[in-house]
Chain A
């Protein structure tokens, strides 16, 4: 027993180091997996207010650019207004439409924290559960998709960026509807890879890549990017496609979170298949 105490007191620094390392690894195992990134929630409260202050200052300097992008978007929306359409019919009746039911709602949000240089990147937005944000909602910017909401606190939410090892988005080539999954290989924040496009499907440079209709997160047809390069290795069944993303993640500041109003219905139906 005395020898044991002597042994421990001699190497106590090592034991302390060892204990702290074990503690760190427990935290990594427990919180660092994709679904369990909820550790962020604990620290979000403290660090988000800090990030908000930084972001408020930074936003002041990019007001002009934000203003420009808002103006462009306003013009686009204005052109979709009912009043900007030519009325062809002689009488206009207001009908409570049962053919068209609203499926998607958009919540505007501002990016308060962002990164593009790491292998796994996350964003923080200034909207949370008070504004109706829930995990697994899609996030888009005015130019293309950004990512998927990961965890939510009352006033903030974290977003799994497209530039993340764990992010896989269902996409398709607009021209012929060939679908695949979009992933990021960690090299260039402007370039992602489209996997699983069969080799018999013809693809060409500058083909538009859009979101597919197989996901409950994004509506169909949101632009993602265009084909940058494509190669077909001998003996490979799938194209190797590099996609140039429309969203510039290093400057993204105003985004929209998408709420799919019909998602619970679809998921309830699909969950009965699994049981």
Chain B
């Protein structure tokens, strides 16, 4: 059973200049909306809030001053495909792992849940990268 959650692309592609507290609130509200529509109280909330919090630190550690001044959004065209893949996959996988383990509510099916999270995360990543390649105009950096 594979169920990718593409909505995480929203959290991934917020601008790097978003302030940490805004980031936490935005990801929390995103999860709340998802919960309302999938009738899963709290699951998406917990997963997206964690994801948003980890994003703050990931972005802080890997962006340069130029990125911040350029107010870029983390995307393939701005930061390159390798950077984006590592960035997106680590956050998506964390999100899916937390979500799927909260959904099953225990470790009784540990390995099957782990594999489900991994495969779903890979599919989500693939869809997000495809979307980026299709819809984002590639900008030439610094001429």
A21's partner among B1, B49, B100, B103 (CB-CB below 8 A) is B49
Interface residues of A in 76-119 (CB under 8 A from B): 115, 117-119
Residues of A within 8 A of B31 (CB): 24
Asked if A28 contacts B39 (CB within 8 A), the reply is: no
Per the bound structure, the CA–CA distance linking A117 and B2 in Å amounts to 7
Tell me, in angstroms, the Cα distance from A119 to B113 when the chains sit together. 9
B21 within 8 A of A: yes
Interface residues on A, range: 35 or more
Contacts of B1 in A (CB 8 A): 117-119, 186-187
Contacts of A17 on B, CB cut-off 8 Å? Answer: 24, 49-50, 52-53
Contact of B49 among A24, A26, A47, A117 (CB under 8 A): A24
The reply to whether the CB of B104 lies closer than 8 angstroms to some CB of chain A is: yes
Check A119 against B21 for contact (C-beta < 8 Å). no
Q: Does B45 contact A (CB under 8 A)?
A: yes
0/1 interface trace, chain A 1-42, chain B, CB 8 Å (1 if under): 000000000001110110011011111101110000101100
| Docked pose: A124 CA to B38 CA in angstroms | 11
Residues in B whose Cβ lies below 8 Å from that of A55: none
A153 contacts chain B at the CB level, 8 A cutoff: no
Q: List 27 A-B contacts (CB under 8 A).
A: A13-B21, A13-B53, A16-B21, A16-B25, A20-B45, A20-B49, A24-B28, A24-B42, A25-B42, A27-B41, A27-B45, A28-B102, A31-B42, A32-B105, A43-B37, A44-B39, A46-B36, A47-B37, A115-B38, A118-B3, A119-B1, A119-B103, A119-B113, A120-B103, A158-B39, A186-B1, A187-B112
**A186 near B49: Cβ-Cβ < 8 Å:** no
Chain A neighbourhood of B15, CB < 8 A: none
A122 contacts chain B at the CB level, 8 A cutoff: yes
Nearest-Cβ distance from residue A115 to partner chain B, whole angstroms: 8
Known: A12-B21, A117-B3. A28 touches B41 (CB 8 A): yes
Contact B39 A122 (CB under 8 A): yes
Cβ of A58 to closest chain B Cβ, rounded Å: 16
Question: CB within 8 Å of A: which of B79-116?
Answer: 100, 102-105, 109, 112-113
User: Does A165 contact B41, Cβ atoms closer than 8 Å?
Assistant: no
Chain A residue at minimum C-beta to C-beta distance from B54: A17
Q: Convert B103-142 into 0s and 1s, putting 1 for each residue whose CB lies closer than 8 angstroms to a CB of A.
A: 1110001001100000000000000000000000000000
Interface-central residue, B20, B24, B28, by most chain A CB under 10 Å: B24
CB-CB nearest in chain A for B20: A13
Q: Which one, A21, A23, A31, A119, contacts B50 given CB within 8 A? A: A21
Instruction: Tell me how far the C-beta of A164 lies from the nearest C-beta in chain B, rounded to whole angstroms.
Output: 11
How close is A56's CB to chain B, nearest CB, in angstroms? 17
Contact of A25 among B2, B20, B40, B46 (CB under 8 A): B46
- Kindly identify, within residues 123 to 150 of chain A, every residue whose CB is under 8 Å from any CB belonging to chain B: 124
* Interface status of B16 (Cβ within 8 A of chain A): no
With both chains docked as a complex, state the minimum distance between the C-beta of B21 and any C-beta of chain A, in angstroms: 6
Of the candidates B21, B25, B36, B53, the one whose C-beta lies within 8 Å of that of A47 is B36
Tell me if B46 and A24 are in contact (CB < 8 A): yes
**Residue B9 lies at the interface, judged by CB distance under 8 Å to chain A:** no
Cα-based distance from A186 to B100 in the complex (angstroms):
12
Closest-CB distance, A48 to chain B (whole angstroms): 10
Indicate whether A28 sits within 8 Å of B3 (C-beta atoms), given known contacts A17-B24, A17-B49, A186-B112.
Answer: no
